[in-house]
A and B are shown apart, each in its own frame.
Chain A
Amino acid sequence: MKHERPAQHDVELDALLADWRAQGVASTEAALPSAVARALENVPLPVNAAHAAPSLPAPSVDNVVELPRRQRALATVLLLAAAISGLFVGSSTSVLRDEDTSSDASDVASFDYGTTLSWTGE
């Protein structure tokens, strides 16, 4: 059985811990540059980044693309056609909706909401 004074043990343990610390610091030092670089990539962008960041040029008269005359005429025709067909579809839909409504109204009027749930219409 080997007995040593606790003070000696403390010295030995402290020396071991000091080596362990030095080794830890040294090995982390080697890994630090790349790890710090990655951490910096995650740093939130400044609040005014939207102003600083390059963005698309604001629309201006100069930036408007001039269509050739023939294409402009075609686009106008297509827009007109779309508008006219939209009007037609809109009106026909409203007609259908009116018919549906009236039909629903008559159905509701002739439906028996009693306990039998039987159809009593014509």
Chain B
Amino acid sequence: MNEAHDEGWLRASLAGDAAASKKLVERHFPSILRFSRRMLRDPHEAEDIAQETFLRLWKNGDRVEGGATLRTWLFRVAHNLAIDRIRAKKKVSLDEDAHEDVPASGPGAAAILDQKERAERVQRAIEALPERQRAAIVLVFHEGLPQTEAASVLGVSVDALESLLARARRSLKKTLTTYDEDEASPEEDEDRGAP
């Protein structure tokens, strides 16, 4: 399975081959849905985004240009849709800030929580990150995209992506571990709300 398959299936799909379209759904829909679910808490909204991403593929698939792989294109569309939703929700309700109220953990606290609870705490801490840091973490640590591809999805250089990841990790460490607050950098809000 590689990008050559994608290219052939996409061409066939755009020519009306339903079997090729099905292959593309089976190959890429799961990761787009996972990404959307990690960007947005609401699973229904996340699925809406994944479905909308593929509707756009059927409609605008001929615009997937050389240089960007199909997977990059799909993640980029899903990312933009997710950011739109996040911003719309922020406008409607300021209750989103409640997610930032992650309780500080004491030494060894993580060890006594089961995996699900720990994952929930991490998810809440990630939702409290600025949008681009959140997307960078989800793309690289959750979906395992190479940094070059994640940078392409976000429309930034690899250096900028590394910076986003470093700040996100610092922020997460501060929230989730027993990291000394004196060593935490205050710069994590620098790109909050950046386009």
Binding site for B on A (CB under 8 A): 1-4, 9-10, 12-13, 15-17, 19-25, 27-28, 31-32, 35-36, 38-40, 42-49
Contacts and interface: CB of A to CB of B under 8 A. Distances in A.
Given A2-B178, A9-B179, A25-B34, A16 B122 contact: yes
- At the interface, is chain B mostly helix, strand, loop or mixed? helix
Nearest to A36: B29
A47 B15 CA distance: 7
B118 A16 contact: yes
B172 A13 contact: yes
A32 B33 contact: yes
Given A16-B122, A28-B33, A32-B33, A43 B21 contact: yes
A26 B99 CA distance: 22
B16 A12 contact: no
B155 interface: no
A2 B55 CA distance: 52
B17 interface: yes
B176 A13 contact: yes
B177 interface: yes
B185 to A, nearest CB: 13
A23 to B, nearest CB: 3
B43 interface: yes
- At the interface, is chain A mostly helix, strand, loop or mixed? helix
B144 to A, nearest CB: 9
From B13, B34, B37, residue with most partner A Cβ within 10 Å? B34
A28 to B, nearest CB: 5
B95 interface: no
B50 interface: yes
B18 A45 contact: yes
13 contacts: A4-B180, A9-B178, A9-B179, A12-B177, A20-B118, A23-B115, A24-B119, A24-B142, A32-B30, A35-B51, A39-B25, A44-B21, A47-B15
Contacts of A4: 178-180
B25 A40 contact: yes
From B43, B126, B177, B178, residue with most partner A Cβ within 10 Å? B177
